[in-house]
Structure 1
Amino acid sequence: MRLLPSITAGLCFGKGIDSFTCPDLEIEEICSAECRVVYVDCRNDCIDQSCDAKCSSEYTLCLNNCPCSINCPDGCTGCDYYLCENSTPSTATSTTTKNSPVHVQVIGDTFGYPRTSYIFGLEGFKENRCIETPPRGAGGHYYMDYAAVAVLKGEVMVFGGKSDFRKIASLNECSFEELPQRLQRGFQTETGSLVAFNEQNVLLCFADDTNNNMCEKYDAESETSSLSVSNSRYPHRTACLGHIDGSPVAVAGFGYSTFDRKKVEQLTNDAWLALPSHPKDVSAHSCLNLENGLLTIGGWLDVLVDQVKYSKEIYLLRKNSWTLVGTLQKASGGHSTIMVSSGEIINVSGVNSPFNIEKLKWDGDHVTSTEVLFENNFFIYRPVLYESYRNACSATCE
């Protein structure tokens, strides 16, 4: 994985690693190609999000151990890649290996609140990390404010947000770099939802004020977007999207009436078909894809009926039936949730205090335990989360 020059400027979380000419470019390219083959084979055997996350994490770690990457900054010198002759273990950088503990990168970029970027481990480690972004956009909004993130083909990608509703960007080491491709319609997570599926596609829905039922599909392989996806029957504003067996599922959210707010639909053969309604009038919740099922976590309850109430309930949709399978320690809304490669569920609270980061143990059918790892200091609406590794970026900003 060659380190590319940063082309971002302006306000930033921090400075990425400077680029250089790789002294062992041919060996680096062989190593990167081998990592990609292993990753593709791994993904082809996956049927759920936990497996996807494990493949992506191992792919990143594999690339980081190639010559001229994070763990081998001087090419083959001190690199233990098998094609590097007379190599000795490097002490210059991270000692990250495929057996390294899981770490999660968090970015909070909500307008009007402090910007934050840190990484944490599941056993209590937490430290600031500098992630570089382009300058503020429309209305002074930070780059990641109300943007959505997905991991496609092993790359962390950003879509939309209030700084530029149509932007598409990708993470290059420690900086987000904007791509020439653009979304056809604007997208933001204040009302919209995104789901990644089939390893290379994302569906972005419910963010268009003129047509709340509209979706756009982006294909990372062809680097193109399409509006050909059928409109949903319900608006699902501030809802969540997941998928079951590779088919997107829209769960609850604001509707035009009380009747709409529990509705669940699945996109199958370019048509939205009804699934059993969610047990609660819920919005600002999160969806998590599982093998043969889908979880919803927390959310706002009865928003259009009464003042906002927050939920800590976790529901499982499996075999056309909803079941309560656990609870968070503290209610949460406007949060983000991921399942990491080790199988734990991580929930980073959004807009209601205390702003907990919780780790949940999942046995395939129920949440068996929860643990509050620590608290954020302030409001972060839909924090950006992705699995990373401890020494991915520098801890301090220049």
Structure 2
Amino acid sequence: MKLFALNLSFCAAETLLVPVTPPPLCPDLDKNEICSTECSDGRDQCYDECAGDYSCVNRCNSTWLNCLESCPCSSGCPDGCIGCPHPVCEATEQYLFMINYNWASENKALHLRLSDNSFIESNFNYHYEYMDVDDACVSYIKGQHFFIGGYYNPRAIIKVTDCEFKLQSQELTIPHIGGMWGSCETYNDVAQLCFYDGGVGARDCQTFDSESEIGTFSESTHPHDWSAMAVYDDKMWVVGGCDPDNYSNCHNHVEYYTQGEYSWQMGPAHPSSEIYAGVVLGDASGVYTFGGRGGNNARSVYRMRNGSWSFLGQMTEATAYSYYFTSGKIVGDYAYVGENSFEKVSLKDGVLPLSTNIGPETDDLRLYYAAMILTDQLICIN
């Protein structure tokens, strides 16, 4: 393995490195995401008022750290919301706020209210005239959401700020394209940008931590073009994919990467003979695949736990004419997965039906590697 650092000219306000990844078994990770996002938004607002005053920046950082420590699943509330006084623990409503490349020309976003599965339209300024996030990596780092790279802007770093995209002055030194090409996942609070043949390499990864970029050359055994990754058991997993030199050579190989070992190891192969272009998600209970091309995966849901795969069932018939799923997120006991239609999939053993199509009736969501941001209130409505 070789490492090389790529120096980027970040302002002093962005130079504080603090891990905010909570314990993976904490029961209230959803509340932690909402809370840490609010902390980071508050920090950015504080920065805006500093006007270059470094003592002010330091106060902002101190307030931010105190805020993070008070969040459920952080050091101040290690057991989640049990005994935690943070107001986020009292919130009863949750939403998935979706930002989607295919809605950019309309400056549109959507909320999914999780309590009743209703969709609520909102506004978001994509600045489409000079920012295009087609096939960008969506990553949640230090309580902030980023779109990194992409087909038309493979070096771009774009931050989600309030109700708009904010293009950062710094760029990736090594380009990255996700979606149908490379893959990405947030692991140990940094973005892992992997398997892009035109960038770091079809078997390699680079990382971006919101402040610096490092290329890590730890080759996987197999190429994983058009695959997807997830975190489970404190490891980063990649499932299936294809060889970019021969797209007829797609496979079911599974590999995992452990921080500190700096190498990929082979995991249990996926039950399908080949799988790619699906959604892969992870939680404390396992790694899941939803749909995907290859074999008979179009509606299938599988889970890998403790070194073996099991078939959980199928998503609804209403999704059968979608070619593949591209977007998803786990909240509590459910996965929310979609492309044109939207599925609510139960991950709790023995709960039926496994999956419910929650809309919209027109099956025209057009989700394409969308960001799904968890909130406890409606945002960007006006």
TM-score (normalizing by structure 1): 0.69
Deviates more, 1:278-287 or 1:324-333: 324-333
SS in 2 for 1:299: coil
RMSD, aligned CA:
3.3
Q: Where does residue 276 of structure 1 map in the other structure? A: 268
Shift of 1:323: 0.8
| C-alpha separation in 1, matches of 2:305 and 2:145 | 29
Shift of 1:162: 2.2
What is the aligned residue count? 310
Q: Where does residue 382 of structure 1 map in the other structure? A: 369
Per-residue CA distance 1:97-125 (angstroms, 9 max, x = gap): 94242211222324998774211212133
Q: Where does residue 57 of structure 1 map in the other structure? A: 34
Q: Where does residue 102 of structure 1 map in the other structure? A: 94
Shift of 1:129: 1.4
Q: Where does residue 313 of structure 2 map in the other structure? A: 326
Shift of 1:156: 1.3
| C-alpha separation in 1, matches of 2:151 and 2:103 | 9
Shift of 1:382: 2.1
Code of the residue aligned with 1:57 in structure 2: it is: I
Code of the residue aligned with 1:127 in structure 2: it is: I
Which of 124, 143, 150 matches 1:154? 143
Q: Where does residue 120 of structure 1 map in the other structure? A: 112
Q: Where does residue 154 of structure 2 map in the other structure? A: 165
Shift of 1:378: 5.3
Code of the residue aligned with 1:379 in structure 2: it is: R
Cα contact 1:327–1:367 (8 A) shared by 2? no
Cα contact 1:194–1:203 (8 A) shared by 2? yes
Structure 1: tracts of 5 or more residues without a match: 1-36, 70-95, 303-308, 350-354
Q: Where does residue 287 of structure 1 map in the other structure? A: 280
Q: Where does residue 231 of structure 2 map in the other structure? A: 243
Code of the residue aligned with 1:327 in structure 2: it is: Q
Q: Where does residue 335 of structure 1 map in the other structure? A: 326
> Which structure has the larger Rg?
1
| C-alpha separation in 2, matches of 1:136 and 1:231 | 37
Cα contact 2:122–2:380 (8 A) shared by 1? yes
| C-alpha separation in 2, matches of 1:101 and 1:242 | 26
Q: Where does residue 361 of structure 1 map in the other structure? A: 346
Structure 2: tracts of 5 or more residues without a match: 1-17, 47-87
Cα contact 1:62–1:98 (8 A) shared by 2? no
SS in 2 for 1:180: coil
Tell me whether 1:345 sits opposite 2:335 in the alignment: yes
Q: Percent identity?
A: 20
Tell me whether 1:267 sits opposite 2:257 in the alignment: yes
| C-alpha separation in 2, matches of 1:245 and 1:97 | 25
Cα contact 2:242–2:249 (8 A) shared by 1? no
Q: Where does residue 8 of structure 1 map in the other structure? A: none
Per-residue CA distance 1:12-34 (angstroms, 9 max, x = gap): xxxxxxxxxxxxxxxxxxxxxxx
Q: Where does residue 92 of structure 1 map in the other structure? A: none
SS in 2 for 1:56: helix
SS in 1 for 2:132: coil
Q: Where does residue 166 of structure 2 map in the other structure? A: 177
| C-alpha separation in 2, matches of 1:113 and 1:65 | 29
Q: 1:112 to 1:132 in 2, by over 3 A?
A: closer
Shift of 1:264: 0.9
Shift of 1:144: 2.2
Code of the residue aligned with 1:153 in structure 2: it is: K
Task: Report matched runs for 1:19-58 at 5 Å.
Answer: 44-47=22-25, 51-58=28-35
Code of the residue aligned with 1:253 in structure 2: it is: G
